[in-house]
Chains A and B, each alone.
Chain A
Amino acid sequence: MIATLNTTQILNDWLLATADDQLILAHRDSEWTGHAPILEEDIALANIAQDELGHATLWYNLLMQLKSENEDYPDRLVYQREANQWRNVQLVELPKGDWAFTMLRQYFMDAYEHVLMSHLEKSQHQNIADIAAKIHREELYHYKHSSAWVKRLALGTDESYQRMQAALNQQWPYIGQLFALAPGEASLVEAGIIPDPAILQNDWQKLVLPLLSTGQLDLPEVSNRFSSRAEHSLHLNQLLNDLQKVFRLDPEADW
């Protein structure tokens, strides 16, 4: 199977996966709009959701450009794909949970994007390097925001600590999927287009583990779920049902 994949296809698949992570994360964040614990955070998270949506758009647009697709390609990808055609990691499709769950996931993803972009800025693929530089500066702010929350909830009250620990227990098994190499992607690593996931994971842990330890959070002893990015939980179906509902009512409608 690997032999039939050429580099273009592998790169396209990687771009799709990278964009899908952002889009699904953006949707989960946006579910808090109007429901966040305080007005200021409502604005902050809506803002961040919009940023992540913007990042997804940058990657979808590059994919569109590389595949010489029409302008409606990103919309088709978002509104017309079934769950099994999405390539996001399962971490981002999990329901938004409580505020601790959302902040911890956002923190994990901000740390991931931060280390990923700092490598991609040096990608041999110029378009990717340009997009990464643009995304990276925003991620520095996102990281500051979510790490401040994780720290405060972990060191806050008994209840906030317990909620943070519960969120960690639930999310930790999904982390490995962020650093799994898809079939054929080793060629992209060799070509200097994307970073080696092992290096990425190491960078990520150097950021994340000290903060979790500051918060006295215990890493659960669980084995990672190494599933393919084509596999999803039923949560994604429910999410897409929401996301695509209006579009499916009238696919030809002009907005």
Chain B
Amino acid sequence: MDTQWPRFEVFKQDAPNQPYQNVGTVHASDGEMALLNARDVYGRRPNCHSLWVAPERAILKVTAEELGNAQIQQKIAEARMLASSELLQNYYVFQKVSQKRTMTFVNYVGGVQAASPRQALALALDRFSQAEVWVWWICPAEVVAASEPGVEDSWFAPALEKVYRQQSYYGKVTRKRRDERLQIAQQMSQPQAQTKNEVSK
């Protein structure tokens, strides 16, 4: 039995004009807790301006390979026809457009209004297709919990001063310390090495 809390995808925006990027997941009992957890897990280092979280199970995820499948193409074609203007919902569209290392994020690209997730995907394919899209994510806007505007100062800004949370901070310290320790270790091991040689003779 899965005793974990539901999984939420986390999207981080580094600066006001940057796209929201999927940075990973958190487990949480609900959206508000997921947002708090996301802040601690993904926003504790510098460069976070805003966060979104969305329950993983609410997101329609389709790969480029799956889009080539005739059955799936058929379903999308059917969904496109099922337009019902009274039941339109807002959907967020996300794409992964690169396989290059460090650029594999699933980014927010825009929104569509549709009657179902599949219909949203059909519209997104019309509107946001580009040379290479490896993965499409479609998420109903209403399930996305966002950090409130104005919390940056309390939620994210303090991380800027906390350089001790960054790997590089310890890299510098340990390299210097390591050299010092190596020196000490060498000095200490020299007489011992001699003793060993004598014994081996």
Q: What residues make up the interface of A, taking CB atoms closer than 8 Å to B?
A: 38-41, 43-44, 47, 51, 54, 137-138, 140-141, 144-145, 148, 152
How many chain B residues touch the partner (CB < 8 A)?
20
B97 to chain A minimum Cβ distance, whole angstroms, is: 29
Given contacts A38-B5, A40-B28, contact A145 B158 (CB under 8 A): no
* B37 contacts the other chain (CB 8 A): yes
Contact A44 B40 (CB under 8 A): yes
A144 → B minimal CB distance (Å): 7
Write the chain A residue with the least CB distance to B36.
A145
Q: How far is the CB of A43 from chain B (nearest CB, A)?
A: 5
Assuming the contacts A40-B40, A144-B36, asked whether A152 and B29 have C-beta atoms less than 8 A apart, the reply is yes
Q: Check if B146 is an interface residue, CB within 8 A of chain A.
A: no
Is B154 interfacial (CB-CB < 8 Å)?
A: yes
B41 contacts partner chain A, Cβ-Cβ < 8 Å? yes
Task: List, sorted by A's number, 26 A–B pairs whose CB atoms are closer than 8 Å.
Answer: A38-B5, A38-B27, A39-B27, A40-B27, A40-B37, A40-B41, A43-B37, A43-B40, A44-B37, A44-B41, A47-B44, A51-B158, A54-B162, A137-B153, A137-B154, A137-B157, A137-B158, A138-B158, A140-B151, A140-B154, A141-B39, A141-B155, A144-B36, A148-B32, A152-B29, A152-B33
Cβ distance B149 to chain A, nearest Cβ, rounded Å:
14
Nearest CB in chain B: distance from A190 CB, A: 32
Interface residue SS majority, chain A: helix
Q: Across the interface, which residues of A come within 8 angstroms of B36, CB to CB? A: 44, 144-145, 148
Residue of B27, B40, B157, B158 with highest tally of chain A CB at under 10 A: B40
Chain A residues contacting B39 (CB-CB under 8 Å) are 141
Residues of B that sit less than 8 Å from A by CB: 5, 26-29, 32-33, 36-37, 39-41, 44, 151, 153-155, 157-158, 162
Min distance, Cβ A74 to any Cβ of chain B, angstroms? 16
Q: How far is the CA of A39 from the CA of B27 in the complex (A)?
A: 9
The smallest C-beta distance from B99 to any residue of chain A, in angstroms, reads 28
Closest chain B CB from A217 CB (angstroms): 19
Cα(A22)–Cα(B162), bound, Å: 18
Q: Given A40-B41, A44-B36, A152-B33, is A138 in contact with B26 using a C-beta cutoff of 8 Å?
A: no
| Interface SS of chain B | helix
- Residue from A47, A138, A148 within 8 A of B33 (CB atoms): A148
CA distance A117 to B162 in the complex (A): 20
Chain B residues near A148 (CB-CB < 8 A) = 32-33, 36
Question: Which residues of the other chain, B, contact A43 by a CB distance below 8 angstroms?
Answer: 37, 40-41, 44
Instruction: Report Cα–Cα, A144/B57, bound state, in Å.
Output: 26
Interchain nearest-CB distance for B32 vs A (Å): 6
Bound: A209/B97 CA distance, A: 51
Residue of B nearest to A151 (CB): B32
A141 to B152, CA, bound (A): 10
Residues of chain B lying within 8 A (CB to CB) of residue A38: 5, 27
Separation of A145 and B44 alpha carbons in the complex (Å): 14
Cβ–Cβ contact B32 & A40, under 8 A: no
Q: Which residues of B contact A140 (CB under 8 A)?
A: 151, 154
**A137 partner residues in chain B, CB cutoff 8 A:** 153-154, 157-158
Residue of A nearest to B29 (CB): A152
Across the interface, name the chain B residue whose C-beta is closest to A41.
Answer: B37
How many angstroms from the CA of A154 to the CA of B39 in the assembled complex? 23
CA distance A41 to B36 in the complex (A): 9
Residue of B nearest to A46 (CB): B40
A152 to B155 CA separation, bound complex (whole angstroms): 21
